[in-house]
Structure 1
C-alpha cells in the first residue's frame, strides 16, 4: 500500500528543488544586464572624448566614413581605445578573480605574484638600456618579465609544494625588489623617466590597432585557461584536502592559474602600464553578487571590469578638457573609496 507524503513535506521539497533554478536564473539575468551596461559604456567611450564630436558625426564615422577630421578621431583614436579598454579590462578582471581563488584571499590582486612588477621592470630595462621606445617594441619585454617573475615566484614559493601563503609572500618580496629597481632606473635615467611617466600610471591614450593585434592572442589564451580551470579552482577554495578528495590536481591547477595570470596581466601591463584597483575591486564586488562560485565570478568579472575601466577612461577625458586625466589615476580615485566602503560593510573576519 502506497502512502502519500504529507502536503507540507511535498511543498518544502518542491521549494528546495526550485531554489537552484531561481538562483541560476537570477545570475543569468544579472549577467545579461551587465552586458547591457557594458554596451552602453562602449557607446559612451566612442561618442565622448576630450574633443567634442557631434553624435551625427560619430554615426557618420562608424557607418559612412569619408575621411573627415571627426572620422579620423572616431575610427583611428576612439574605436581602438575602446577595443583595447574592453580587452585590458577583461584581462585585469579575470586575472584578479583567478588570483583571489588561487590564494584564497578576496583582497588579492594581479600584482600580488609580482607579474605587474616583472613586466614593468622589463619595460624600463628595454627603454633605458636598449633604447626601445615604441610600444610594439617593448611589449615582448613585458611578457618576458612577467613570465620570468612568475617562474621565480613559483620556485621561491616551493614549486610542487607551493601553498597560497608561500606564493603570496614570494610575490610580495619580488614586487618590492622589482619596483625598487624600476624607481632607481628612472631616477638615474631622465630620458627613460620622461618616456615612462604616462605609462607607469596606466593609460589607454596610446591605443592603436597594431597594439591590439599584438596583445589580443595572449589575452585570448589567458581567458581560455582561466575558464578551463574554473572547476578545480572552485574545489581549491574549500582547502587542499577537500580539493584532492574532489579529484582536483593541485599542482597542475596552480601552474595553469599562474600561467593564465601571467598572460592576462602581462598583456594588460604591456599595452597600458600597471593599472591598479580594477583587478582587486571588481572580483571582490562580483563575489557579493554571485557568491563564491568561481564559475560565475569569472564571466561577471570579465564583463564588469571593462565597465569600470572604460567608464573611468571616459571620466578622465572630460573632467580636464581639453587635456586628459590618465585612466590609472581615475581608477584609483574612483575605486579606492568604493573599496573602502565595501570593506567597512563587512566584518574583517569575513574577508
Structure 2
C-alpha cells in the first residue's frame, strides 16, 4: 500500500467521525428547540425556524430557544479551544483556564463590575472580564517564575490564585445582597438568559478567536516540543506562548462574562478529542471545538430537567460530568508517572 493509499484510508474514518459529531450537534439543536418548559409540535418548530409564523409559540422558539442553542454551541467551542491552548501552553494535561485562575479572575472582575456599576451593560462586563482574566493569568505566571520547575509551580500558583479570587468573588456577592440570587446562579454557569443580544456580543470574539487559532495552528506545533528543541530549530516559542495566552483570555474571558465560569468543559473536551484522533493539531483543534459545542449543548438541554419545570444552571451538569473525569485523569497521570 502506497503513501497515498494510507493517507486516503485515514481520511475516511476522520470524515465519518466529524460527520457523526456534526449530526449529533444538529440533533442536539433540534432537541433544545423542541423540548423544555413548554412543549411545541414539530410543525410549529418547522414554522418557527423557517420564520413562517409569528404567534406566541413561534416567537418563543425564535427569541429564546434558538439563541440559547446557538450560544451553547459558541461558548462550548470557545471554552474547549481555550482549554486545549492552556494545556499546550503549560505542557500540563490537567490544566485549564478554570484551574489556572483565568476564569476565576474574569468572574471576580465581573462581580466587581456588577457591584460597583450595577447598570453596566453586557459589553462593559466583557471588558471587566478581560481585565480580570488577564490579571489572573499575569499573577499565576509571575508567581510561577522561570526555570526547570516552572510547570509544577504553574499548577500550584494557579490553584492558589483560583481560590483567592473565588473567595474575593464570594465576598463581593455578600456585599451585594440585592443581586445575590442572580449572581450565584451566574457563578455556577448558566445559559438561561442567553438572547440574540448576547449572541451578537460574543460573535466577534468567537470569529476572531477561532480565526486566530486556525492561523496559529502551524506555530502551535512548537508547543508540543521541549522549549530548548523549539528554540534550537528557530522557533519563537515565547512569542507563540504569549499569543496563545492572549487568545485564551479572549476566548475564556468573553464566555465567562456572558455565561459565567462554566467548569470542566475546558478540561475534559481536549482529552476526549485527543483520545479519538491523537495529537495532530490540524485534526485535534477542529474536533476539540466541535466536541466542546456538542458537550455544552447537551449539558444545557439536560439542565432543564434537573428540577423541572424550573431551570437549573448548566454548570451543575458539566460539574457532574467533569469531576469524575478529572479524578480519572489525575489518577491516570499519576499512574503514568
Which has the higher mean CA deviation after the structures are superposed, 117-126 or 312-321?
A: 312-321
3-state secondary structure, aligned to 1:112: coil
Alignment check: 8 A CA contact 2:83 2:267 kept: yes
Q: Secondary structure at the match of 2:307?
A: coil
For residue 125 of structure 2, give the secondary structure of its aligned residue in structure 1.
helix
Bigger Rg over Cα: 1
1:113 lines up with 2:100 in the alignment = yes
Alpha-carbon contact 1:223-1:260 (below 8 Å) kept: no
Moved more, 221-230 or 179-188: 221-230
Give, in angstroms, the shift of residue 94 of structure 1: 0.5
Cα pair distance change 1:17/1:83, threshold 3 Å: closer
Provide, for residues 84-104 of structure 1, a one-character-per-residue CA deviation record: whole Å limited to 9, x for no partner.
Answer: 111100001101111111111
- For normalisation by structure 1, the TM-score amounts to 0.87
- Consecutive unaligned residues of structure 2, counting only runs of 5 or more, are none
Match of 1:46 in 2: 33
Contact preservation (8 Å) 1:120, 1:142: yes
1:229 is matched with 216
Q: Deviation string for 1:277-303 (max 9, x for gaps)?
A: 111111111111111222222111110
Question: Are the equivalent residues in 2 in contact too, given 1:97–1:297 (CA < 8 A)?
Answer: no
- TM-score normalised by length of structure 2: 0.90
How do residues 253-292 of structure 1 correspond to structure 2 at under 5 angstroms? 253-292=240-279
Structure 1: gaps of 5 or more residues? 1-13
Distance 1:64 1:217 in 2: 25
Give the equivalent residue in structure 1 for 2:48. Answer: 61
- Residues 189, 315 of structure 2: 8 Å contact kept: yes
| 1:71 counterpart residue number | 58
Deviates more, 1:306-315 or 1:131-140: 131-140
1:192 and 1:163, CA in 2 relative to 1: closer, same or farther beyond 3 A? same
CA deviation digits over 1:216-248, x for unaligned, max 9?
Answer: 211222222322333333232231122223432
Q: Measure the CA separation in 2 of the matches of 1:256 and 1:347.
A: 28
Identify the residue that residue 37 of structure 1 maps to in structure 2.
24
Q: CA deviation at 1:159?
A: 8.0
- Structure 2 Cα separation of the partners of residues 134 and 107 of structure 1: 34
Find out whether 1:103 has 2:97 as its counterpart.
no
Q: How does 1:1-351 map to 2 (within 5 A)?
A: 14=1, 18-132=5-119, 134-158=121-145, 163-340=150-327, 346=332, 348-350=334-336
Q: How many residues align?
A: 337
Q: Spell out, residue by residue over 1:114-145, the C-alpha distance to the aligned partner (whole angstroms, 9 max, x if none).
A: 11111111111111122236544423211222
